[in-house]
Amino acid sequence: MNSGSGGVMKKNKNYCPICDDFFHFNVYGISNRVNAECTNCGSLERHRLLWMFLHKKLKIENYKGTNKSLLHIAPENCFNNIFTKIFGEKYLTADLNSPDVKEKMDITNIQHGDNTFDFIICNHVLEHIVDDIKALEELYRVLKNIGWLILTVPIKREKTKENFLIQTENERLVVFGQSDHVRIYGKDFIRRLSSVNFYVTAIKANDFITDTECNKMSCPNDKTLFFCTKKRNLKYDS
C-alpha cells in the first residue's frame, strides 16, 4: 500500500488510501460509526475499500488515455478528481436528485443506448429504489459486453426484507433503519444480481487486503463488493 508518509504508521491516525495520507477519522452515520469519515476527503469505509480494489486489483489508473468510459451513479465527492484525471470527458456522473452531477438520471429508465459504458460504479443506491430489479436490468443493458459493474449495498441480515406498504419516513426509519430506505438487503442480494443475468463475484475486504490495512483504513474485513459482468470469463485481475 502506497503511503505519502513513506509507510510510517502515524500514531493515533488512520490511513486514507484515497488521500494517500494519514488523518483522523470522524464518527459518522445514524449508528455513530467510530473512525468512519476521513476528515480530509470525506471518504467512508466503503469508499476506501472500493478504491483499494480499483487500485490494487483492477489497476484502474492504467485506463488513463484509453478512451474508456465510467458511469458513476450518485457519485461521491472523494472520487471526483481521481476519476476525472483517469477518464476525462468519459467520466459521467449521474443522479436523480443532486444538482452537482453531469446528468440527471433515473436508473430505472436510463436514457442511453445498449452497451454504452465500459464501467459502472453504484454505491449504496439500490436500497433507495423501489424497483431495484428494473434498475439492475437497466444497468445490465447499458454496460458493455466486456465491461464491469461494481455495486455495494448495506448487507444486514440473512434474507432481504421489504414491504411496500411501509411508505412514510418514520415507518421506514423504524423498519429499515433509515428514512429513505425501502428495504434491508440480506446475503441473498447476489440472487437479485444473478436474476438479471449478471455473473457475480462477491469480494470481501480480506480477500485482497490485510487485517492491518483494514484496521488502519477502518474498513471491516468482511465488508463486501459485488463485481458484476455480462460474461462468465471476465474476472478481476488477481
Q: Domains of the chain by range and CATH?
A: 44-229 (3.40.50.150)
Query: What are φ and ψ of residue 29, in 5° steps?
Result: 95, 165
Q: Tell me how far apart the alpha carbons of residues 46 and 12 are, in angstroms, rounded to a whole number.
A: 21
Q: Which residues pair with 199 in a beta bridge?
A: 229
Say how many Å lie between the first and final Cα of the chain, rounded: 16
Answer whether 213's CB lies under 8 Å from 1's CB.
yes
Give CA angle at 88 (120, 125), nearest 5°: 30
> Is this prediction's pTM over 0.85?
yes
Residue 228 has pLDDT above 50, yes or no: yes
Number of H-type helices and E-type strands within the chain = 6, 14
**37: buried, middle or exposed (CB in 10 Å: 19+, 13-18, 0-12)?**
buried
Residue 6 has pLDDT above 60, yes or no: no
233's CB contacts (< 8 A; 6+ apart) are: none
Cell of 214: 483494514
- At 139 the three-state DSSP class reads helix
Tell me: the pLDDT tens digits for 49-88?
999 999 999 999 999 999 999 999 999 999 999 999 999 9
**pLDDT value of residue 235:** 66
Nearest-Å Rg of the Cα atoms of the chain is 18
Tell me: the pLDDT tens digits for 141-199?
999 999 999 999 999 889 999 888 888 889 888 888 788 899 999 999 999 999 999 99
